[in-house]
Structure 1
Amino acid sequence: MSNIREEMPVLVRHEGDWVGTYTLIDTTGKILDSYESHLTCQFPENGSHPYYQINRYKWSDGKQEEYEFPGSYKDNKLWFDTERIQGKAWEADDSIVILWFSYKTNPEMSLYEMIYISPDNNNRARTWHWFKNNHIFQRTLIQEERVR
């Protein structure tokens, strides 16, 4: 039986639905892209994975994307290994989760994400730092609110 709920209490505070905006910028701060998001973070009791996340994105031109991220739990870390990415997440303190992942189709590209959750568990601030061959080339700024 997984101990994810006991051993990753900051991650568990993210359970539920979140809406917000993603803003992608280059290293000079120029906006490259912006879109809306709706993420669902779940800890299924009877699923094959102790963590399950669904990311939904919507652009102003009508474009939409959806991705599913089942996660496994081991050694106080959340692990991802999907067709698209592989990575891991861990807690840094009582408000921060750090995520690292790389894209399987572009192994020279990876990112680190810092996820801050507010003390009332209703707001998140996230930043992605994108690296290609170990050099930063862009960032994603994310602001979200819990909807349930």
Structure 2
Amino acid sequence: MSNLREKMPVLARHEGDWTGSYTLVNTEGKIIDKHQSHLTCQFPETGDYPYFQINRYHWENGKQEEHQFPGIYQDNKLIFDTERITGKAWEADESTLILWLAYKGVPDAYIYEMIQISPCNNYRARTWQWFKNNQVYQRTLIQEERMQ
């Protein structure tokens, strides 16, 4: 299991806890939603999954959500298949991950995410492009910082 770090070294640089903000905008740039986040990226030494991510979201109105994303390594990609999503991530270059995912309850829709990690490994910039029927209809802009 630990060889996932070797096979996906850019992904390995994301290990740890991240806090930040998510800003969802429509195609005209109008803010639809904004909330805070705390993500944990882990590489468990035991268990069924060589990668495990926990996403926690908090809104100003008190709303909270938590989602877990176990992942396996297959065909040079990190693969996700939960009751909520299906997806895959791969490394594009020495600082970029690309993620394709689809929510199982939303037919004809998918997301492409680009994740950049800084050379110092302490900052991430992420962009989601949301597609329905192959047309972009919104974007999520995410800024994160590693928790110390």
**TM range, smaller chain:** over 0.9
- Long gaps (5+) in structure 1: none
- Name the amino acid aligned to 1:22: Y
Any idea what the Cα deviations from partners look like across 1:62-117, whole Å, max 9, x if unmatched?
Answer: 00000000001012100000000001000000000000000111121100000000
Per-residue deviation, 1:139: 0.0
What is the deviation of 1:3?
A: 2.5
**1:5 and 2:19 matched:** no
Q: Give the alignment of 1:72-91 within 5 angstroms.
A: 72-91=72-91
RMSD: 0.8
Could you say which residue in structure 2 is the equivalent of 1:59?
Answer: 59
Q: CA deviation at 1:50?
A: 0.3
Partner of 1:127: 127
How many equivalent pairs are there? 148
The residue type equivalent to 1:120 in the other structure is C
CA distance in 2, matches of 1:81, 1:5: 20
Which secondary structure does the structure 1 equivalent of 2:93 belong to? coil
Q: Give the Cα–Cα distance (whole angstroms) in 2 for the partners of residues 104 and 72 of structure 1.
A: 18
Gaps of 5+ in 2: none
Q: SS state of the match for residue 10, structure 1? A: helix
SS in 1 for 2:107: strand
The one-letter code sitting in structure 2 at the alignment partner of 1:71 is: G
SS state of the match for residue 10, structure 2? Answer: helix
Equivalent residue for 1:137? 137
State the distance in 1 between where 2:42 and 2:120 align. 19
Is the partner of 1:11 in helix, strand or coil? Answer: helix
Share of identical aligned residues, percent? 70
- SS in structure 1 opposite 2:6? helix
Structure 1: 4+ residue segments shifted above 4 A: none
TM-score when normalising by structure 2: 0.98
